[in-house]
Amino acid sequence: MPYKEQETSKLFYSIGEVAEMFNVNASLIRFWEKEFTSLLQFSKDTRGNRQFTQQDISKLRILHDLIKIQGFTLEGAKKHLKEKDNRKEANDKEALFKSLEKIKAELIALKKKVQ
C-alpha cells in the first residue's frame, strides 16, 4: 500500500509532508479539499498554509483508499461516503489499518533484535 506512516507524531503536518505520506502531489490534496468540502476542512496558519492533524490524515487515508486503491470515481466516492454505514465501515478499516501498522512495526523491531 502506498501510504507511509511517519515515525514521530506531531500536532500538525504540512501539505508537503502529507503528500509524501500518500505518494501524491500536493495539488491533488488541494483538489480533494475542494471536491470533498463536507469531509475535508483543514485549518490554516497565519500565513495561509494548510495544517493537517492526525484526524485530517485519517480522512485523507479513507479518500486515498476509495479513489486510488479501490478505483472509485469522485462522484462514486462522494456517494459512498454519504451513506452512514459506509462511513462507519471506512472508520473501522482505518482502525484496523492502524492496528496492523503497529503490529508490523513491532514484528520488524523483534526481527531486528533476533538477528
Query: What is the reported pLDDT for 27?
Result: 92
Answer yes or no: are the C-beta atoms of 40 and 60 closer than 8 Å. Answer: yes
Cell of 33: 479539499
User: Is the pLDDT score of 36 beyond 80?
Assistant: yes
Confirm if 46 and 28 have CB atoms less than 8 A apart. no
pLDDT tens-digit series, residues 38-96: 777 787 878 888 888 888 888 888 888 888 888 888 888 888 887 755 666 667 777 77
The structure's pTM equals 0.61
Q: Can you tell me the distance from the alpha carbon of 83 to that of 72, in angstroms, rounded to the nearest whole number? A: 15
pLDDT at position 7, please? Answer: 55
Cα Rg, the chain, nearest whole Å: 15
Q: What is the pLDDT of residue 86?
A: 60
Domain 15-114, CATH class in plain words: mainly alpha
Closest CA to 7 of 111, 102, 107: 102
